[in-house]
Amino acid sequence: MALDKSSAAGPLREPRFVASETAFRTPYFSIARESFVAAGSGEPFHYYKLDRPDGTIMLGLTVAGEIILVRQFRPALRRFTLELPCGAVDPGESPAEAARREFYEETGYRCTFVPVGTGRIMMNRVAACEFCFFGRDAVRDPNFAPREEIEVRLYPPESFRQLVAAGGFEQLATLGTILLAQWKGELQAF
């Protein structure tokens, strides 16, 4: 077992939080200006962070064992991407409720999800938590009417692995969700 070795300078001391104010707001996120005082020097400093709701990431498999992916346009990248279905947790909604809702809204599939872990994306700028879920035996609702511009694609595990290896899949949070599902014993290694 590896031991944590602290630096020779001694333990780090946490800066003291002073205040937070909203610097910019949109319907989807806001940017907060946070003020701190450095522990060692007592110097004030400011930091900008992105505030947004917690999110869900869903790894769903069809009855045939195919991975359910969504293809959608991402304005920040100015192109389409392939991803696992994911979305925000609405106010008053549990992460499990959000996972079921978002998965259905994006894919038209329903299944029972189990939580496999939580994590954060971009901890240097975002405090929101991502709740990861795994579900098997997903079945598509034949009466599903999509409300979003999203294309559903199904990938057998080997084809998905090849897609990732070839650089055709960029959503790192998905790979973390797959690893968590494997560690929890819900999913066999690809």
Please tell me the predicted confidence (pLDDT) of residue 7: 57
Say whether domain 55-183 belongs to CATH 3.40.50.1110: no
pLDDT tens-digit series, residues 19-78? 999 999 999 999 999 999 999 889 999 999 999 999 999 999 999 999 999 999 999 999
Residue 84: name the closest of 94, 99, 95 by CA: 99
Answer for the pair 73, 148: CB distance below 8 angstroms, yes or no: no
Residue 189 clears pLDDT 80, i.e. is over it: no
110 vs 100: CA distance, rounded Å: 7
Residue 1 clears pLDDT 60, i.e. is over it: no
Report the chain's terminal Cα–Cα distance, integer Å. Answer: 28
pLDDT tens-digit series, residues 134-151? 999 999 999 999 888 999
Q: Which sequence spans correspond to the domains of the chain? A: 16-51, 55-183
Rounded to two decimals, the pTM is 0.88
